[in-house]
Amino acid sequence: INDNYCIYHCLRLGIINYTALANYIKPQVERLVGSEVNINSLVVAIKRYADTLEVGELEPINAKISLLGRVIDLDLVEDENVEMFIDRLREMDPDLRLFRTYNILRIFTEEAEDVRELMDRFARCISNMSKGLAKISIKLPSNSKVNQMLITAIADTLYNNGISVHDAFFSHDEIMLIVDEKDAGKAYDVLSRKLQSRYE
Do the Cβ atoms of 150 and 58 come closer than 8 Å? yes
pLDDT for position 179: 97
Whole-angstrom Cα distance, residue 40 to residue 186? 44
Q: State the pLDDT at residue 26.
A: 94
Residue 50 DSSP code? H
- Global confidence as pTM: 0.69
Round to the nearest angstrom and report the end-to-end CA distance of the chain.
31
Class of residue 138 by CB neighbours under 10 A (exposed 0-12, middle 13-18, buried 19+): buried
The pLDDT value recorded for residue 95 is: 81
Q: How many residues does the chain have?
A: 200
Q: Is 34 left (phi over 0), alpha (psi -120 to 50) or beta?
A: left
- State the pLDDT at residue 70: 92
Residue 133 has a pLDDT of 96
3-class secondary-structure state, position 59: coil
pLDDT at residue number 200: 42
pLDDT of residue 151: 82
Confidence (pLDDT) at 59:
53
> From edge to edge, which strands make up the β-sheet containing 126-139?
97-100, 105-110, 64-76, 126-139, 174-180, 165-170
Show the domains of the chain with their CATH numbers: 5-52 (no CATH), 64-199 (3.30.2130.10)
Radius of gyration of the chain, Cα coordinates, nearest whole angstrom: 22
pLDDT in tens, the chain (200 residues): 877 878 887 888 889 999 999 999 999 999 999 999 999 999 999 999 888 876 545 555 567 899 999 999 999 988 889 999 999 999 998 888 888 877 788 999 988 899 999 999 999 999 999 999 999 999 887 777 767 777 877 888 898 899 999 999 988 889 999 999 999 999 999 998 877 654 44
pLDDT at 101: 78
